[in-house]
Amino acid sequence: MESIVKEEEGYTLSSPLFEDLWSRAPMRRKFSDRDMVGGWVRAEVALARAQAELGLIPEDAAKAIAEAGRTHAFDMVAMRHGVTATLHQLMPFINQLRDACPGDAGQYLHWGATTQDIIDTGAMLRSKEAMAMIVEGLETLESTLAALCEREAETVMAGRTHGQQALPITFGFKVANWLSEVRRNIDRLKEMSERVFVVSIVGAVGTSAYMGPKGLEVARKVAADLGLGWDPVSWQAARDRLGEMLSTMILTGSSLGRIGHELAVLQKTELSEVHEPHGPEQVGSSTMPQKRNPSIAEGVLSAGLMLRAQAGLAMELMATEHERDDSRWQIDSRIVPEVFLLLDGQIGNLTYLVEGLEVDRERMRANIVDEIAGEPMMRALASFLGRHNAHDVLHECFMTAHEKRIPILDVLSANEAVSAHLNREQLRSLMDPASYLGVAVEVARNEARRAR
C-alpha cells in the first residue's frame, strides 16, 4: 500500500533521522497534513452551520456536512495525487468531503467561499492552537530561568563588555536579563493574539457577493463558532497579520538564540564557567574523546540564526497584488510551519539546557582578574583627586601593569598619587568583587519573584 510518508528526507526539519534535534513531536503533529485537513473540515462545517442558521442553505445539508466531516476517513494518498493532477490545493479535499455527504447535501458544501477562505481560516485555527503551545513552552522556560536566577542570585562572576572583564556581577543577575527578555516575548505573543487570529470568509475578491447581504453575518458566526476573531474588511491581500505573527516569533527566537550563544561562550575551555547537561551516551567528537561540546547551546543559537533568515521572507509574503495574489500566498504554507517548528524546538532545547545547567561557582570566582577593580578604585580616589584626575592616574597604572606584566597591586602601591590616599590593604579590599555588586543581587531576586 502506498504511503504518503516519505521515509528518507535528508537534512530537513521533517527528516525522521534528525527531526528530534530541531523540533518536538506535538508541534510536528500540529503541522501534519492530517491536522491541516482537519482545520479545513472545521472551517467548512462552521461555514455550513452559519449559512443554515441564516437560511442560505438547508439545515439538513449543514448537518450532513458536519456529520461527513466528523466521520469521513480522508484518503491522503488520493488527495496527494489529486493535488498533483489538478495543481489545486483544495479541490481534491472538497471532492472527497462532497462525495462523503449523503444525497445532494454535498452540493451545498463550500457555498460562496473561495479556496483561500478555507485554507486561511484553517491556517488561523492551527496557528492559534500552535501559538498556545509556544506560549506554554515559553512560560515553562520562564519558570526554569526564574529558579536558576534565584539559586544563583549571589554567585559572583565577571561582567564583561566588548569581551573584556568590566565589573563584577552575579550569575543570577545575568540570568535575570534573560528572564526579563523571555517575559517580554511572552507578553508580545499574547498581546497580538486577538488582532492576528481572524477568520477569512469573504468569497472570491472579499465582497461575499455569493452570499448576498448576509455575507458579513455569516463570517461573524463562523468566527464565533471557531473561536477566532472577525474583521468585516477582507485580509486576503493584506497579509500584515501573518507578518506580525511571524516577525514576533522570529524576534522571540532571536532572543533565545542570544541566550544560547551566551551559554555556549561560557562553556569555552578558557572560561568553563557553566556546563550543559551531558547524557550518558552523548559523544562530543568522533576523534577527540575528551570533548564535551556545547551542542545544545549551539543548537539553540543555530535555530535563532535560521529563524532570523526567515524575516525577509515573512515580509515578502505581504507584497501581494490587487485583491489576491497566489505568488505570495504560497509562501505561507512553507514558512509558517517552519517558524513554528524551529521556535518550539528551540524553546524545548533551551529549557532542557537550563534545567540541567551545571554552574561552576568556584571557576567563576577564580576567573575574575584583579583589574576588574578599576571603577571601585576610581570611586575611592575620586574623593581625594577628583573623578577625572583619579581616572587618569589609574589608567596609567593599569596600562603599565599590562605592558610590563606586573601585578596591578604592586603598581598601585608604588604610585605616589595612589599610595598617598589608599594603602595596600585598602587597595586589596577594593579588589574583592563581592564588595562592588551594586543592585545585582536585588535585581536577580526581584526578577525571579516576578515569575512566581
Handedness of CA 142, 188, 198, 347 (dihedral sign): negative
DSSP alpha helix (H) spans, 293-439: 295-309, 311-316, 326-355, 361-367, 374-385, 387-404, 408-414, 416-419, 424-430
As a whole number of angstroms, the distance between CA 199 and CA 89 comes to 19
- Tell me which residue of 265, 267, 270, 259 sits closest to 367, measured CA to CA: 270
Name the pairing type of β-strands 156-161 and 274-275: unpaired
Q: Which residues does the annotation mark as catalytic?
A: 162, 285
As a whole number of angstroms, the distance between CA 318 and CA 314 comes to 8
> What does each C-alpha distance from 274 to 95, 106, 168, 182 come to in angstroms?
58, 62, 17, 20
102 exposure class (CB count in 10 Å sphere: 0-12, 13-18, 19+): exposed
Neighbours of 384 (CB within 10 A): 13
3-class DSSP state of 349: helix
The amino acid sitting at 303 is A
The amino acid sitting at 149 is C
As a whole number of angstroms, the distance between CA 381 and CA 390 comes to 6
Judge contact between 358 and 366, C-beta under 8 A. no
